[in-house]
Amino acid sequence: MNVPIRWGILGAGRIARKFAAALQCLPDARLEAVGSRAKDRAHSFGAEFNIPRCHSEYSALAHDPQVDAVYVATRHSSHAENTLLALSAGKAVLCEKPFALNASEAEEMIASARQKKLFLMEALWTRFFPLMAKLREMLRQGAIGEVRMLTADFGFRAPLDPNSRLFNPADGGGALLDVGIYPISLASMIFGPPVKIASMAQLGRTGVDEESAMLLQHAAGQIAVLMCAVRTNMPQEAVIMGTEGQIRIHSPWWRPTAMSLIADKGHQRSQRGQQLRVNLPLNRPISLSLTACVGSESTLDFPYQGNGYQYEAAEVMCCLREGRIESETMPLAESLSIMRTLDTIRSQWSLKYPQELAKSSS
C-alpha cells in the first residue's frame, strides 16, 4: 500500500462530515486533524471520527505538522481566506465548491498556489465519479456523434430562512453558487468556456437568487440550457445531445449512478455488430450492443461504495504522489473560467454580495 496521505479538515459542518466519512473508504488516507472555531464542535467532530488532533483555531489546523493536505469545508464566503491560510502554511488544498466568492478571489488563490508550487483543486465532486469518467471517454469516442446541446438542472425546495447560508447574502447565498455551479461545470467539461451568456433570475426577499435559468453558447456554436433553484424542486437530470444520439444521466445526475444511451436509427445501422464496453468500479465489465436498442434506451449502471466524496480525495492523493500541483480532471484554469461565468451571470442580475459592495466602495 502507498504511504498514507494525512488529511486535515478545516470546518466541522455537514459537508465536512461527508468528507470525513468518505476518507474511511480509502485505505491510504488518514484523517489526522480537524479545525473549528468552536472548541466543543471540534472535539465532538473528532470523537465522531476518531481524529487524533482537534484544533479550536483554523490557523492551528493549517500549521499542524502532521497534516499533508487540507480540505476546506467552510461557507462560500470563507473559501478564499481559508485556502490562502492553508497555502501560506505550506499545505496542499482541496477547496469545496464554489472555488471562491468571485473570480478575483479565485485568481489570488491560484496565484498563491502556483507561486508556492503547492497543490490546489476545487472540490467539484461530481466530476470524479466513475460514471463521469466513462462519459468523457464515450464523448471522446463519438458515441453520439458531434455533441451539440446540453440541458441540465439542479433545484430543490428549501424552507425560507434568512439566517440560513442558502439565503444569507453575506455567506454567498443563493442557488447559483450552491447548486447552479453543477450544471455550469458540466457544460464547461463538455464544451469548454462559454462565449455568450444570457440569463434571468428570481431574486428573493433576502436579495439572493432563488430560481434562475441560463443559456450558454460555446465556441463551436454548442448550446447549454441550464436551470437551478433553492425554492423549486426540479427533475435533476442532464441530457447531452449529439448528431447521432443522446446520453441521459439519470436523476440525481450530480451524484450519478446510471446513464442511458439513445442512438439515432441511422447511427445504429452504421454501428451494427459493434459493442459498447462498460467497466464498472467493481471490475465487472459488461457489453451492450448498440443495435439492440432501436427505439429504446440502453442503461449503463455505475454503482459505487461509500458516499462518493472519496473519488475527489483519491484524485488529490494521486496527484500528490505523482508530484503534480494541479489536477488534469479539474484544472485551475477551468475553475477560474467557471468563476468568471458565475460572475457574468450575477452581473446580469445586478447581484453583488456585501463583501463585494464594501470593496467597491472603499
pLDDT band at 265 (very low <50, low <70, confident <90, very high): confident
DSSP string, 253-309: TTS--EEEEEE-HHHHHHTTT-EEEE--TTS--EEEEGGGGTTSPEEEE---SSSST
Contacts of 359 by beta carbon, 8 Å cutoff, 6+ apart: none
Q: What is the CATH number of the domain that holds 235?
A: 3.30.360.10
DSSP string, 139-199: HHTTTTSSEEEEEEEEE-B----TTSTTT-GGGT-SHIIIIIHHHHHHHHHHH-SEEEEEE
Q: How far apart are CA 42 and CA 357, in angstroms?
A: 33
Q: Does residue 275 or residue 123 have the better pLDDT?
A: 123
- Average pLDDT for 277-303: 54
Q: How far apart are CA 296 and CA 294, in angstroms?
A: 6
42 pLDDT more than 70: yes
- The answer to whether the CB of 144 falls within 8 A of the CB of 244 is yes
Q: What per-residue confidence (pLDDT) applies to 343? A: 98
- The answer to whether the CB of 233 falls within 8 A of the CB of 211 is no
Tell me, yes or no, whether 107 and 166 share the same domain: no
281 pLDDT more than 70: no
- Average pLDDT for 330-356: 97
Tell me, yes or no, whether 174 and 280 share the same domain: yes
Tell me, yes or no, whether 283 and 321 share the same domain: no
Tell me, yes or no, whether 207 and 292 share the same domain: yes
274 pLDDT more than 60: no
pLDDT band at 266 (very low <50, low <70, confident <90, very high): low
Three-class DSSP category at 354: helix
286 pLDDT more than 90: no
150 pLDDT more than 90: yes
Evaluate whether residue 108 is within a structural domain. yes
Evaluate whether residue 361 is within a structural domain. no
Pick the catalytic residue: 91, 97, 134, 196?
97
- Other beta carbons less than 10 A from residue 162's beta carbon: 14
Burial of 328 (0-12, 13-18, 19+ CB in 10 A): exposed
Tell me, yes or no, whether 142 and 285 share the same domain: yes
Burial of 14 (0-12, 13-18, 19+ CB in 10 A): exposed
137 pLDDT more than 90: yes
Does 18 qualify as catalytic in the annotation? no
Q: How far apart are CA 247 and CA 262, in angstroms?
A: 6
How far is CA 359 from each of CA 14, 104, 184, rounded to the nearest angstrom?
30, 12, 27
Q: Of the given ranges (199-203, 229-233, 252-256, 302-306), which has the lowest mean pLDDT?
A: 302-306
- Average pLDDT for 26-44: 96
Q: What is the DSSP letter of 250?
A: P
pLDDT band at 290 (very low <50, low <70, confident <90, very high): very low
283 pLDDT more than 70: no
Tell me, yes or no, whether 195 and 102 share the same domain: no
Q: Of the given ranges (81-90, 184-193, 226-235, 273-282), which has the lowest mean pLDDT?
A: 273-282
Tell me, yes or no, whether 81 and 213 share the same domain: no
Q: What per-residue confidence (pLDDT) applies to 322? A: 97
Share of the chain above pLDDT 70, in %: 91
Evaluate whether residue 82 is within a structural domain. yes
Q: How far apart are CA 272 and CA 270, in angstroms?
A: 6
Question: For the chain, what is the mean pLDDT?
Answer: 92
Q: How many separate domains does the chain show? A: 2
pTM listed for this prediction: 0.91
Q: How far apart are CA 223 and CA 281, in angstroms?
A: 32
268 pLDDT more than 90: no
Q: What is the CATH number of the domain that holds 316?
A: 3.40.50.720
Contacts of 36 by beta carbon, 8 Å cutoff, 6+ apart: 11, 12, 42, 45, 54, 55, 56
97 pLDDT more than 60: yes
Evaluate whether residue 214 is within a structural domain. yes
Q: In DSSP terms, which residues pair with 30 in a beta bridge?
A: 6
Tell me, yes or no, whether 228 and 279 share the same domain: yes
Q: Of the given ranges (171-180, 202-211, 240-249, 279-288), which has the lowest mean pLDDT?
A: 279-288
- Residue 260: half-sphere exposure toward Cβ, Cα within 13 Å: 14
Tell me, yes or no, whether 189 and 202 share the same domain: yes
pLDDT band at 271 (very low <50, low <70, confident <90, very high): very low
Tell me, yes or no, whether 109 and 185 share the same domain: no
Evaluate whether residue 356 is within a structural domain. no
Q: What per-residue confidence (pLDDT) applies to 264? A: 85
Evaluate whether residue 236 is within a structural domain. yes
Tell me, yes or no, whether 96 and 242 share the same domain: no
To which residue does cell 453583488 refer? 352
Q: What per-residue confidence (pLDDT) applies to 359? A: 86
**Host domain of residue 103:** 5-126+309-330
- The answer to whether the CB of 169 falls within 8 A of the CB of 353 is yes
Q: How far apart are CA 225 and CA 184, in angstroms?
A: 9
- The answer to whether the CB of 79 falls within 8 A of the CB of 95 is yes
Evaluate whether residue 341 is within a structural domain. no
pLDDT band at 297 (very low <50, low <70, confident <90, very high): confident
Contacts of 30 by beta carbon, 8 Å cutoff, 6+ apart: 4, 5, 6, 7, 23
